[in-house]
Amino acid sequence: MTYHRRRPLRREETAEEESPEDIRQRNMKEAEILASNLGEGGINAHEILSDVGQLKGLAQLQESMASLATV
C-alpha cells in the first residue's frame, strides 16, 4: 500500500490565492488519494464528500440535531 504525504502549506507560502475551481480540483485529487490509501474494501471515492457546500449543510444539520436533542 502506498501512502502519499504532503507537507501542509501555510497561507504565506503560497504564491497566489487559489480560485474556487483550483480548490475543487485539489479537493477531488485529495479524495482520490484518500480512497486509494484506504485500499480495497475501504471507502469508495463516491462516498467521500469533497463539495464544501455539502459539508457545510451536514455541519448545520448536525448542529440543529444537537440543539434539538437538548431541548
- The enclosing H or E element of 55 equals helix 52-69
Q: Quick one: cell of 7? A: 507537507
Among candidates 14, 51, 11, 17, which has minimal Cα distance to 31?
A: 51
Supply the pLDDT for residue 31.
Answer: 84
pLDDT at 63 over 90: yes
Supply the pLDDT for residue 57.
Answer: 94
SS3 7: coil
Supply the pLDDT for residue 62.
Answer: 95
Contact 48, 35 (CB under 8 A): yes
* Calpha distance 50→27 (Å, rounded): 6
Tens digit of pLDDT for each residue in 10-58? Answer: 555 556 788 999 999 999 898 888 878 777 666 677 777 878 899 999 9
User: Residue 64: pLDDT band by 50, 70, 90 thresholds?
Assistant: very high
* Calpha distance 47→2 (Å, rounded): 21
Supply the pLDDT for residue 1.
Answer: 44
